[in-house]
Structure 1
Amino acid sequence: MTRPRFSAVGVLGAGALLTLAGCFGPPAPAPTTSSASAAATVSPSPTATAPTSPAVTPSPTATVPPSSAPPSSAPAGPTAEPTFTGFPEQTAPLTIYYVAIGDNGVSGPMIGCGDSIVATTTAPVRFTDQVGPSIGTLLVNRSRDVGLSGLVNVLYQSNLMYVSGELEGSTINIYLSGQFMLGGVCDIPRAKAQLEYTAMAASGATSAQVFIDGRPIDEVLSLK
């Protein structure tokens, strides 16, 4: 009776399988292509090589790289901040403040020398930023008397020009250039109130600061 022949590779492969069974438990069912590769790796035979059969080559579709996931399943990237393109254009009346001298707060908030600061409105004006047109309308008025209303514009002789405005929280900062030309000490709180109240009405702020050529209005008017 002829004895079956075993090649060296076969013997070594069987030894390797027995060794693996001792480490991880009973032998697994028929090895898959990946286990065949592992057996070839642990075999001590210097001539053992991994099978070159196409079945051993991992299928290109076996794993999907994260980058190839559908766009809908990819995590959304950071949303770009919207770019401010300016206020929308609108048409509305402007609110301009003038002084009721000696009114003692009857017609509006009371200011220095027993006067009142009173709101008036213009005809509808088209604008995008209401602060500039409102302050500009106040500064270009060269009449002391506001029609037949009895109100007074104490800025009518001043040479002032609106430069810019900036809203910081609930405070509107107004930047002007030029010079004041006032008629006396009582015109100081009147001029200041006209500018501040007009700026607050235009911006919706609750307080205002006025700067003339970079200097606070109180500092400028203290010299008058």
Structure 2
Amino acid sequence: MTRPRLTALSVLGLSGLMVLTGCFGPPSPSPTTSSAAPSASAGTSTSPSTTAGATTTATPTTPGSTSAAPTTPAAAPPSSVPTSPPPTQEPAPTGLPEQVAPLTVYYVAVGDNGVSGPMIGCGDSLVATTTAPVRFTDQVGPSVGTLLANKSRDVGLSGLINALYQSNLTYLGGELNGSTISIWLSGQFMLGGVCDVPRAKAQLEYTAMAASGATNAQVFVNGRPIDEVLSLK
């Protein structure tokens, strides 16, 4: 069997066809698919950005609530401020200075007619006596208290008497107002007769005046003036 012989022209034509076939063959995979992946990725990335936007919107509220916290100490009520005086303040000293001295107490010289001291009713005299040194701050209280505490009628061997020896009286307090000393007593008088009334009154008044340096005296017993109380005796 005789094979057809290929001429040079046939060979060239076949080669040209093959070249054309290579140029116009099936199209290669489109690169658009791989390029779309970044687009999809970019599109997907917009979703986190939306979430980030929501987070960004909520973030300012946290500092706002935190900044309000410091206002709590500033709004403390005024009652928290201490009202007590500073510890450096000291109270002003009160009362009289303490001292040691004898006390002056008055008793009665019956029938002396003012020879030994101030004359009082029934022709008697008041005579000042002194005690041993006593420590005190207010001399009026100790002096009147010493007089009221003496429960003996006779004052030693002096010949003086104490018209208050039977009375049950207690010193409550005293006040010096100018040249007048006022003293307050509680209790009851027990006197031996009409002449003991001026004697008891004079003993109290003169003892209080000597202790305070006053020139006048007022005596109150159970809140009433002594003259009113002794008028019933």
TM-score, normalising length from structure 2? 0.61
Shift of 1:85: 1.1
- 1:109-158 Cα shifts (integer Å, max 9, x gaps): 00000000000000000000000000000000000000000000010000
Q: What is the correspondence of 1:59-208 to structure 2 with a 5 Å cutoff?
A: 83-208=92-217
2:205 & 2:166 partners in 1: Cα distance? 18
Percent of residue pairs identical: 85
SS in 2 for 1:172: strand
Offset from partner CA, 1:37-89 (integer Å, 9 cap, x none): xxxxxxxxxxxxxxxxxxxxxxxxxxxxxxxxxxxxxxxxxxxxx93511000
* Larger Rg over CA atoms: 2
Q: Distance in 2 between matches of 1:205 and 1:137?
A: 19
- Once residues 187 and 93 of structure 2 are traced to their aligned partners in structure 1, the CA distance between those partners, rounded to angstroms, is 31
- In structure 1, the gaps of 5 or more residues are 1-81
Task: Note the residue ranges of structure 2 that are not aligned, 5 or more in a row.
Answer: 1-90
Aligned partner of 1:32 in structure 2 is none
Whole-Å Cα distance in 1 between the matches of residues 176 and 215 of structure 2? 11
RMSD: 1.3
- Determine the C-alpha separation between the residues in 2 that align with 1:85 and 1:173: 20
**TM-score normalised by L of structure 1:** 0.63
Tell me, yes or no, if structure 1 residue 217 matches structure 2 residue 218.
no
Matched residue SS, 1:142: coil
CA distance in 2, matches of 1:109, 1:156: 21
**Off by >6 Å, runs of 4+ in structure 1:** none
Query: Distance in 2 between the 1:83 and 1:118 partners?
Result: 40
